[in-house]
Amino acid sequence: MSAVMTIEELRNGLAWRKNLDKAFVVAGLLILMSCLGLLALLFVDLVRDGAARFGWDFLTQFPSRKAERAGILSAWVGTSMIMLVTAVVALPVGVAAAIYLEEYAPKNWFTGVIEINVTNLAGVPSIVYGLLALGLFVYKFGFGQSVLSAGLTLALLILPIIIVGTREALRAVPKAIREAAYGLGATRWEVTKDHVLPYSTGGILTGLILGLSRAIGETAPIITIGALSFIAFLPDPPISGAFPFVNFAWLKSEFTAMPIQIFNWISRPDQAFQQNAAAAAAILLAMTLAMNAVAIWIRYRFRKKINW
Amino acid sequence: MSATAATRSTAMGKGAFSSLAYRKNRDRAIELILLACALVAVFTTLAIVLILVVESSYFFEHVTIREFLTDRMWTPLFDDAHYGIMPLVSGTLTVTFVALLVAIPLGTIIAIYLSEFATHRMRESVKPVLELLGAVPTVVYGYFALLMVTPFLQKFMPDLSGFNMLSAGLVIGLMIVPYVASVSEDAMRAVPRYMREGSYAMGATRLQTALRVVVPGALSGIAAAYILGISRAIGETMVVAIAAGMQPTLTFNPTEPAATITAYIVQVSLGDLPHDSIGYQSIFAAGLVLMLMTLVFNVIGFFLTRKFREAY
């Protein structure tokens, strides 16, 4: 081969390089599609394996030694109560922390420390939160192996998600809006409460839903706290017909949750229980995917609706 | 003076007639409340460190650091108790390695494809769907690994045991693909357009530009993606607890069953150990090791991402 390429060689080389380009596009698409395909396959398989168990009874029965009579009543009630605690704690704290970091915090080392902490907490393995809760909530604070401990643990776990989501939303509000409000004599809190927050509702909501969708599937931390897998009673309902209409006994109640129930059923060698696991897993997966879909939709709607 | 105040109060209504001093004080109080909420993050970190260190210190009263690091068996719950962390660490590293074998190539190719080849519309619609892979509850992935992936692999490897680190690792790999892909893609998109255009002007194709200009330019960000992926794989719990078995074994062979640090913590938590037993304390010692391992990777990842954000 001579040092100078002939036009023929150049053409062949170019054709080869262009083919490589096309091959990469095909490979990329294929890999992308097979990853998504696996997700679909997983869902279809769960539905197929658990098909025999779907029905009203599955939702309204307590767990049982007999697989065909076992249901997820105590699991989904437990999960709903935990999610209630998680949302009630994580939303205000997360939003307030985000407002502080975005609207108030001066740029100094102290703010830097808080920021590094938020980033770091997002990367802490979830089971470590479980150990924290076991040592702190269950034993030090004496909350026991209760709905309250579980809810608080998951609230800490999703705090970084809510903080990051809220901060993004706050940052998207243009400066001009803040300056207009300051120009009329509003204080910083008035600007934030009356102008910045209302525009950020979409982003905050997205963050909350994504956080809860993460929390609803978390298994490891609540196993560490000591969730029970066999619970054949329901905690007292939080709302009652008689005065004072609300009670908080349920917070102290022992509990089980959807992922715990699934884990327990998977661990049994009996195939009938694995069918139960598949059915419950399909329901849990559907809930998670639905929450994510809602979050994506809200984000999309808000982006489209607001034209600054 | 009082006359003006009176007209002001009628003109503005009672609600608006809060003095500036009052509003400023209220602002200061609210700022303190907001600050307290932001400090929850700092206190959480402190509490994690404190709890892990204090509880493990009880553990290390019984077990010497030397035994912890050099003993080749981990059987704190047996009568013949051994407290060597090595088998748990070997399990954790093996699963992580298998997971990376899946996540790094797939995640990188998807990132290059989305950043350099896909149209804007395609990217915007595929990314959220891809992120669903990371949103699937881990217990569901555990079911997938134990009851679908393992039986499938056994068709080709008849000797594969029912519990093994291979299928757990493969599934964890799939789980962190979107994570690796989205962090790498962010890094690649931060590479300025003019660098690509320079490359095209020299006659390079898209693939050549991607591999020789964009990827080297985004290297610190891509490295951060891998490192944060490693930290995720190390901390993953339910998939290994379900599909890899719970027997601590000192092995690096992925076709064997073994326990990871996280699986051990789950195993102990499932039983009902008394609060002050050595078994209870041992999960905090294991947790401390886990925390240190992920912390190292998180810190490296944090500085690498900061570097690529500053680079351009």
Domain that holds residue A97: 56-305
Residue A239 bridge partners (DSSP): A246
CB atoms A224 and B284 under 8 Å: no
**pLDDT for res B2:** 46
Bin A185: left if φ > 0, else alpha if -120 < ψ < 50, else beta: left
**pLDDT for res A239:** 64
Q: How many Cβ pairs closer than 8 A exist between chain A and B?
A: 250
Nearest by CB to residue A219, choosing from B139, B174, B283, is B139
As a whole number, mean pLDDT of residues A291-304 equals 85
Q: Is the pLDDT of residue A104 over 80?
A: yes
Interval B60-119: pLDDT, tens: 888 888 888 888 888 877 777 888 888 899 999 999 999 999 999 999 999 999 999 999
* Angstrom distance (rounded) from CA B36 to CA B32: 6
CA dihedral A169, A170, A171, A172 (to 10 degrees): 50
Answer whether B210's CB lies under 8 Å from B118's CB. Answer: no
Max mean pLDDT among A135-139, A154-158, B244-248 falls in A154-158
Both structure tokens of A219? 């298994």
Interval B36-59: pLDDT, tens: 999 999 999 999 999 999 989 988
Classify domain B86-311 by CATH architecture.
Orthogonal Bundle (1.10)
Q: Is the pLDDT of residue B3 over 60?
A: no
Q: Is the pLDDT of residue A228 over 80?
A: no
Taking alpha carbons only, the member of B272, B111, B129, B182 closest to residue A138 is B272
Q: Is the pLDDT of residue B6 over 60?
A: no
Between A118 and A248, residue with greater pLDDT: A118
Relative orientation angle of helices B261-270 and B86-112, to the nearest 10 degrees? 120
The 10 Å CB-count burial string (b at 16+, else e) for B169-198 is bbbbbbbbbbbbbbbbbbbbbbbeeeebee
N- to C-terminal Cα separation, chain A? 62
Residues from chain A contacting residue B236 (CB–CB below 8 Å): 125
As a whole number, mean pLDDT of residues A256-260 equals 89
Both structure tokens of A221? 């931390």
Task: State the best of B140, B261, B273, B284 to mutate against chain A, taking most chain A CBs within 10 Å.
Answer: B140
Answer whether A93's CB lies under 8 Å from B12's CB. Answer: no
The residue of chain B nearest to residue A191, with distances taken between CA atoms, is: B27
**pLDDT for res B222:** 92
CA distances from B193 to B124, B186, B197, B202 (A): 19, 14, 6, 15
**pLDDT for res B274:** 76
Q: Is the pLDDT of residue B310 over 70?
A: no
CB atoms A139 and B31 under 8 Å: no
Both structure tokens of B178? 């979107």
Residues from chain A contacting residue B38 (CB–CB below 8 Å): 96-97, 100-101, 105, 114
Answer whether B236's CB lies under 8 Å from B173's CB. Answer: no
Interval B149-201: pLDDT, tens: 999 999 988 888 889 999 999 999 999 999 999 989 988 998 999 999 999 99
Nearest by CB to residue A259, choosing from B34, B131, B139, is B139
Q: Can you tell me whether residue B83 is helix, strand or coil?
A: strand
- Range list of H helices, chain A: 7-50, 56-60, 73-99, 109-122, 126-133, 147-171, 175-183, 188-191, 197-217, 220-225, 258-266, 271-305
Decide if B284 touches A, using CB distance below 8 A.
yes
Q: Is the pLDDT of residue B312 over 70?
A: no
DSSP string, A133-149: HIIIIIIIS---SSHHH
CA distances from A4 to A15, A114, A130, A258 (A): 18, 61, 67, 70
Cα within 13 Å of Cα(A55), Cβ side: 9
> What is the residue extent of each domain of chain B?
2-62, 86-311
* Angstrom distance (rounded) from CA A173 to CA A166: 11
* Angstrom distance (rounded) from CA B196 to CA B216: 12
**Rounded to a whole number, what is the distance in Å from the CA of B132 to chain A's nearest CA?**
7
Residue A143 belongs to domain with CATH number: 1.10.3720.10
Nearest by CB to residue A127, choosing from B23, B112, B237, is B237
**pLDDT for res A246:** 65
Q: Residues of chain B with pLDDT > 70: what percent?
A: 93
CB atoms B34 and A100 under 8 Å: yes
Interval B249-264: pLDDT, tens: 888 888 888 889 999 9
Taking alpha carbons only, the member of A199, A260, A201, A197 closest to residue A226 is A260
**Rounded to a whole number, what is the distance in Å from the CA of B64 to chain A's nearest CA?**
22
CB atoms A281 and B270 under 8 Å: no
Q: What is the DSSP letter of A6?
A: P
| Domain-located, residue A25 | yes
Q: Which residue matches tokens 């998670």?
A: A288
**pLDDT for res B104:** 95
Task: State the best of A100, A145, A163, A300 to mutate against chain B, taking most chain B CBs within 10 Å.
Answer: A100
Q: Of the ranges A285-289, B50-54, B157-161, B205-209, which one carries the lowest mean pLDDT score?
A: B157-161
The CA radius of gyration of chain B, in Å to the nearest whole number, is: 27
Nearest by CB to residue B138, choosing from A45, A130, A217, is A217
Decide if B302 touches A, using CB distance below 8 A.
yes
* Angstrom distance (rounded) from CA B65 to CA A298: 52
CA dihedral A206, A212, A214, A216 (to 10 degrees): -150
As a whole number, mean pLDDT of residues B128-132 equals 86
| Domain-located, residue A291 | yes
Q: Which residue matches tokens 């719990």?
A: B237
The residue of chain A nearest to residue B125, with distances taken between CA atoms, is: A296
* Angstrom distance (rounded) from CA A270 to CA A264: 12
Average pLDDT, chain A: 86
| Domain-located, residue A2 | no
Both structure tokens of B87? 């088998």
Q: Is the pLDDT of residue A81 over 80?
A: yes
Q: What is the DSSP letter of A5?
A: P
**B84: how many CB neighbours lie within 10 A of its CB?**
19
As a whole number, mean pLDDT of residues B138-142 equals 93
* Angstrom distance (rounded) from CA A189 to CA A202: 20
Nearest by CB to residue B109, choosing from A31, A132, A223, is A31
Cα angle A115, A205, A238; round to 5: 105
Taking alpha carbons only, the member of A1, A51, A3, A10 closest to residue A278 is A51
Which contacts qualify for A232-238: CB closer than 8 Å, 24 or more apart? A232/A62, A232/A63, A232/A74, A233/A62, A233/A74, A234/A73, A234/A74, A234/A77, A235/A77, A235/A78, A235/A81, A235/A147, A238/A81, A238/A84
Decide if B42 touches A, using CB distance below 8 A.
yes
Residues from chain A contacting residue B184 (CB–CB below 8 Å): none
CB atoms B287 and A131 under 8 Å: yes
Displacement of CA A28 from its chain's centroid (Å)? 28
Nearest by CB to residue B228, choosing from A42, A123, A277, is A123
Clarify whether residues A60 and A38 are in a common domain: no
Clarify whether residues A38 and A144 are in a common domain: no
* Angstrom distance (rounded) from CA A166 to CA A201: 9
Q: Is the pLDDT of residue B11 over 60?
A: no
Q: How many domains does chain A have?
A: 2
Nearest by CB to residue B298, choosing from A120, A213, A218, is A120
Between B309 and B16, residue with greater pLDDT: B309
**pLDDT for res A226:** 78
Decide if B208 touches A, using CB distance below 8 A.
yes
Decide if B173 touches A, using CB distance below 8 A.
no
Q: How many helices (H) and strands (E) does chain B have?
A: 15, 0
Clarify whether residues A18 and A84 are in a common domain: no
DSSP string, A234-286: -PPPSB-SSTTSB--GGGGS----HHHHHHHHHTSS-HHHHHHHHHHHHHHHH
Residues from chain B contacting residue A268 (CB–CB below 8 Å): none
ipTM over 0.90 threshold: no
Cα angle B35, B41, B45; round to 5: 140
The residue of chain B nearest to residue A135, with distances taken between CA atoms, is: B51
